[in-house]
């Protein structure tokens, strides 16, 4: 029995998120089907993060136990041979028995991308949220500075959260503009549901001048979801890496 770590990339446009569902195609469901066919029995797939419908990944990580003997590169190619082209396993490694893609993760990094140009490139429209009009990037960076550190992020998640508490350590929050693409890069020890997309929506409201940068500190402290910005669309969000 081998404990397999698989690094995965996917275009989430056509999927109902990571987590397996009774109705609708999911990333976990497709991987389960592909790996179970190779091992000729049901294989349980554990993911580092449960991305929502329409969210993409450049560096998602999954782990599973496999009985049949495979070399890593042959296993990677065999899994990919059973998947559609919008999901790819980029790397396979054999790990110690204690490794689990979710519980062994030390931190995760997401990027929320916003297209700020007049015409959306056909090479980017699936992976960016389009914004029309000017943005105050300095104000957005000032607002972002209030969110870094260990805080209760109740204002940036759904009201009926599955978690017992909403305290997370947001280690880095960077805002960069390269060409027409504004990138909001967020690294934390863990994330709440819709947390990155709500942070992105709130920062965009700051950039538009709808709320002041200083108000971000008040929103965070108030722990009231209704005071933060709208949840930004899923298409702009990508899980870029998981560190162990």
pLDDT at residue number 18 = 98
pLDDT digits (tens, 9 = 90+) for 169-225: 999 999 999 999 999 999 999 999 999 999 999 999 999 999 999 999 999 999 999
Domain end: 47, 63, 95, which one? 95
| 84 and 128 housed in the same domain | no
In SS3 terms, 155-198 reads as HHCCCCCCCCCCEEEEEEEEEEEECCEEEEEEEECCCCCCHHHH
CATH code for the domain in which residue 184 is found: 3.30.70.660
| 114 and 210 housed in the same domain | yes
Q: Is residue 42 part of a domain?
A: yes
* 52 given a catalytic annotation: yes
pLDDT at residue number 161 = 61
Asked if 139 and 208 count as a contact pair (C-beta separation under 8 A), the reply is no
Residue segments in the chain with a per-residue pLDDT below the cut of 50: none
Q: Is residue 100 part of a domain?
A: no
| 45 and 134 housed in the same domain | no
pLDDT at residue number 160 = 66
The domain of 72 spans 2-95
| 75 and 181 housed in the same domain | no
Question: Considering 11, 39, 52, 152, which one is annotated as catalytic?
Answer: 52
pLDDT at residue number 159 = 73
pLDDT at residue number 114 = 98
| 199 and 164 housed in the same domain | yes
């Amino acid at each position: 029995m081998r404990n397999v770590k698989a690094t995965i990339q996917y275009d989430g446009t056509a999927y109902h998120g990571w987590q397996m569902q009774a109705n609708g195609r999911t990333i976990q469901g497709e991987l389960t089907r592909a790996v179970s066919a190779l091992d000729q029995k049901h294989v349980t797939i554990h993911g580092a993060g449960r991305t929502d419908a329409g969210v993409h990944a450049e560096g998602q990580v999954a782990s599973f136990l496999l009985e049949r003997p495979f070399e890593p590169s042959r296993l990677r190619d065999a899994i990919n041979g059973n998947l559609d082209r919008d999901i790819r396993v980029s790397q396979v490694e054999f790990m110690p028995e204690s490794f689990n893609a979710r519980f062994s993760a030390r931190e995760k990094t997401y990027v929320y991308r916003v297209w700020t140009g007049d015409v959306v490139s056909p090479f980017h429209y699936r992976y960016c949220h389009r914004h029309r009009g000017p943005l105050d990037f300095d104000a957005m960076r000032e607002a972002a500075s209030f969110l870094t550190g260990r805080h209760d992020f109740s204002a940036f998640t759904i009201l009926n959260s599955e978690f017992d508490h909403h305290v997370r350590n947001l280690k880095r929050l960077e805002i960069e503009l390269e060409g027409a693409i504004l990138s909001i890069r967020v690294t934390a020890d863990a994330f709440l549901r819709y947390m990155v997309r709500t942070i992105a929506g709130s920062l965009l409201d700051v950039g538009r001048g709808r709320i002041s940068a200083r108000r971000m500190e008040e929103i965070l402290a108030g722990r009231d979801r209704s005071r933060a910005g709208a949840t930004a669309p899923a298409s702009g969000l990508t899980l870029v890496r998981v560190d162990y």
